[in-house]
Amino acid sequence: MAHHLITGAASGIGFLIAQTLLRRGDHVWAVDLDVAGLSKLQVHASSPAHLRTGALDVRDAEAWERLMGDIAAQWPQLDTVMNVAGVLRPEYVGQTSTASIHLQIDVNTKGLIFGTEAAARLMVPRRHGHIINIASIAGVSPVPGCAIYCASKFAARGYSLSVAQELRAHGVKVTAICPDAVATPMLGPDNLRPEAAMIFSGSGPMPPDKVVQAVLKAMNKAPVEIILPGWRALLAKTASLAPGLTSSVFGLMIWLGRRRLARTTGQPPH
């Protein structure tokens, strides 16, 4: 019976991962700033003892250390740490607020790093564990209109791929999962803006259960990286290899994204 720690578990992808693992009888330690949202997980636990919840600000390195101390004291082992918490603030360059820059870098990058570092300190001496970091396809390809989010996810992905090579010698696995846009509260009304057009340039946000399936695959096979869906992965890799040659393609994708946003919001495309 496996033991998992999941951040950002009060809603979206984190909630669905926790729900799935609880339903199969695993132990889950679910954390988020939204403690009320975490309470909704209890109905999915086969036993009250299978679910622990608590508040965690992933930006607080000391809070991470306290959490790992609690886990070490209360659980016989920690099999998986899943860094899921993330934020998105679409904004054009030159119009980005200082608060938005700090928030996205602090949560998406530093929070993930703090979690990985804390997990490694617990897992390496035991030579056991798997760290699964939810990055983004925005960490593979440029995303005009979401430059700070993109930067935060490029950093998260690069860090994850690097420490995967470090930790494999210590018996600890690391997987970076890089999904395209996902239909979660992160893509709610506040982010249905022209700046986010590139995010909506595909066939539409994917169902969050696709990411849950990728997490289950990662837990089973422990690849270093999963990018999904496959066709967007190919496009993203190409754009990353030759960004100067893909400008015209980006223009078309932004146009498509604005049209899809317009249909969603009922507003004319900008």
The single residue listed with the structure tokens 């938005």 is 100
Instruction: Determine how many CB atoms are found less than 10 A away from the CB of residue 260.
Output: 18
Identify the pLDDT of residue 248: 63
Of residues 251 and 52, more confidence is placed in 52
H helix intervals, 105-203: 112-123, 147-167
Rounded to two decimals, the pTM is 0.91
| pLDDT tens figures, 114-151 | 999 999 999 999 999 999 999 999 999 888 899 999 99
State the pairing for strand pair 173-179/3-6: unpaired
Identify the pLDDT of residue 237: 79
Instruction: Determine how many CB atoms are found less than 10 A away from the CB of residue 231.
Output: 11
At 49, the amino acid letter reads A
For Cα atoms 187, 193, 194, give the angle at the middle one, nearest 5 degrees. Answer: 130
Closest CA to 112 of 7, 228, 21, 3: 7
Q: Which helix (H) or strand (E) holds 180?
A: none
Identify the pLDDT of residue 70: 98
Instruction: Determine how many CB atoms are found less than 10 A away from the CB of residue 209.
Output: 14
The residue-averaged pLDDT of 205-219 equals 95
List phi, psi (to 5°) of 77. -160, 165
Q: Which residues contact 252 (CB under 8 A, 6 or more apart)?
A: none
Q: If you average pLDDT over every residue of the chain, what do you get?
A: 91
